[in-house]
Amino acid sequence: MVRRTAEKLEVVLRFVRANLREQQAIWRLVAAAGAAGLAIASVLVALAGPWDSGRRTAERDQATAADVRRDADTGDGERVAGTVPGVQPVLVPLDGEGAEPTAAVVERVLRPLLRDPALGKDVAAAVIDLSSGESLYAERAGTSRAPASTIKIITAVAALDALGPDHRLATTVRWDEERKSVVLVGGGDPTLTADDLDDLAMDTARALADQGLTAEEVAYDVSLYPREQRHPIGVNDNIAVITPLQLNEGRLDDSTRGPAPRADNPAADAATAFAAALADAGGISAEAAEGRDPARRTAPEDAEELAVHRSAPTSSLVERMLVNSDNDLAEALARHTAIASDQPADFRGASAAFNGRLDALGLPMDGARLVDASGLDREGRVTADLLTRALAVAADPERPELRAALTGLPVAGFSGTLSERYADGETGTEGAGLVRAKTGTLTGVNSLAGTVATGEGRVLAFAFLASETTDARAAEAALDEAATALAALAG
């Protein structure tokens, strides 16, 4: 136990040291931004800790405090404050710029590592310097590969671009006067919990009592999406039926992340749970609720809103999606991206919305085939060039709304899907606390894409896409070693 605690402490210290180097580099970049073109500027300062279960506590605390604020003009409850704390100077600027590693050096370091037999044949890879935008390594960088979960970087950028960092997903309760019915309207929030439904039921009961209304039944509305869909992989513990109404992602156990058995009809189950909570709150008589399953029905357009529950802001949802590699949340964000882009909220609509958004951001779309938002579909294709350029756009100081696509990346040896990698005795140990990256794993597919700070404080974006792998653990170790080698440049 003492040894493991010491190992974790060393990881944290590496993470802090990396952030200090980044912050020094950032202030240099701010001064040079006009000449540099693409620059990370102050964006990556926000990546500093402290962390709590994979999320920066400063963002969590600010998001909690801002929940009570409402837009005075519209009264719609949308966040009016930023979700990321304003950047404050923490170090004095350094004179000059840290040395940018040359392409020749990067190639000499990376090429033999990416020839590791564990990575199969023809690994696609790209590395760019985020301050200059210069390509430092490109091997089959424009060749399409299955991304697995690294596609969530694309999902993050597209969703933040479409929705903004402060938008929240609303689950509402409406009053159907004609049927004397309370209608639970799904808002496409897969993070809805039992406690949220209890609160929503209490608010609904209070609203009914205040207006002297008596509910005779409970119904539910899933019309936000044109259809409920299963992912093409079929029934699978990695993702529930995609529906705008679900309780804890349709999980049938107490888990909040990772694979779990899922409900056959998440929307109906959520509505049943709400009806029970509403009866407990006195919003409907037990007799009216007993023995009657909630009906599936679209609420009338003029139905009065009785109560509303709002999710965490998009920036926090994106962070959760990236840290936990949350497939359900990825597909939900994709559908909201589609709605914001005037596309139908299904797989095809999300794909069209993604393509339009990314193209408008100037990202290289040649060779990309975006068929889902989670990376579970093996038919999806991206390029290493697209992933690194997406990270660069998220780092652009002119686009602070995209910042969560960086802050949500798991930290090697510390958080999310990288918490158990880069451990003592493992390949790439020295990258712990220094590498921030999204993992990707399917049978025969292993990928890693993210950012890393060099010893000189240069921040690089990288993407490694391997296919035809036969040993996932060995492939992960090889990818981790390659990312660690970038951290060691000019160390």
- Catalytic positions are 149, 152, 325
CA distance 436 to 40: 15
Rounded Cα distance, 250 and 260, in Å:
9
CA distances from 285 to 205, 206, 292 (A): 11, 14, 12
101 in Cβ contact with 454 (< 8 Å):
yes
Return d(Cα 412, Cα 15) in angstroms, integer. Answer: 9
Which of 220, 205, 213 has its CA nearest to residue 279? 205
Report how far residue 259's alpha carbon sits from residue 270's, in angstroms, rounded to the nearest whole number.
Answer: 19
- Give the helix/strand (H/E) hosting 211: helix 194-211
The residues near 175 (Cβ < 8 Å, ≥ 6 apart) are 181, 182, 183, 208, 213, 303, 304, 305, 306
DSSP secondary structure string, 239-280?
B--B-S--SGGGBSSS-SSS---B-SSHHHHHHHHHHHHHHH
Given CA atoms 363, 107, 468, 434 in this order, what sign does their dihedral have?
A: negative
Locate tokens 């929307």: which residue?
267
Distant-in-sequence, close-in-space partners of 235: CB < 8 Å, separation ≥ 6: 262
> What is the phi/psi pair of residue 119, to 5°?
-95, 5
Return the structure tokens found at 361: 């951001």
Q: Is 94 left (phi over 0), alpha (psi -120 to 50) or beta?
A: beta
Distance between CA atoms of residues 446 and 114, nearest Å = 12
Q: Give the Cβ contact number of residue 88 at 10 Å.
A: 7
